[in-house]
Chain A
């Protein structure tokens, strides 16, 4: 990982950690450019762990839910049933690297392009939290 990428990620992760309590998040960083965040839906109080890997930060991170017991991203019950979440595959949303790989047109549309200004790590986490808190978009834990 390039030093510039590592430093940018660390800088923004510090701010995420500073505001984590306000959002009800638990945040840890098991390695360079990696953040693991537990967030909880206000709808049913179910919690999910998300692993964000910023290999080209501040460009979009890889984002995958994982099972905290095994670390595996292929455990279906570790995934929320939620708009854009495709259990054990990816987050097909205009905030993950997987989403932009699947939909390259998003990057060239001003409405959906990834904005690297400010703190993209915090912005993405807030967008995901809002998604998990939105009735009609979040339907509970995947079975």
Chain B
């Protein structure tokens, strides 16, 4: 008797509308944290969190369906129940108000 096995990796794609190149794509181990995904995607797009002259923090938020993800979770946490365990995430910069 055979049992269905969960895939050993999760396909992750992160898009950024301000990017000069296409999405960050990787097959990641299920235990990979979303903090790591955010960092990898930011490196891919060449963006960094920063602070402006007025001291405002400008951070890039990793989102899933227009909502920020919990960076303490893993890709497996987020992929559970999704179609073919694929994640399509977005990187969005937070804006500064005057």
Contact = CB atoms under 8 A, between A and B. Distances in A.
Interface of A: 23-24, 42, 83-84, 92-95, 99, 102-103, 105-106, 109-112, 115, 117-120, 122-123, 126-131, 133-134
A28 B69 CA distance: 30
Q: Which size bracket describes the interface of B in this complex?
A: 20 to 34
B81 to A, nearest CB: 18
Given A109-B52, A130-B66, A122 B17 contact: yes
B66 A118 contact: no
The DSSP consensus for interface residues of chain B is: loop
B78 interface: no
A83 B61 contact: no
A120 B61 CA distance: 17
B66 A111 contact: no
A123 B98 contact: no
Contacts of A83: 97
B97 A119 contact: no
Interface of B: 16-20, 50-53, 56, 58, 61, 63, 66-68, 90, 92-98
Contacts of B96: 93-94, 106, 112
Most buried by A among B20, B50, B61, B93: B93
A42 B50 contact: no
Given A111-B58, A117-B20, A118-B16, A127 B53 contact: no
B95 A95 contact: yes
A84 B97 contact: yes
Contacts of B20: 117-118
Contact of B98 (A24, A84, A126, A133): A84
A50 to B, nearest CB: 14
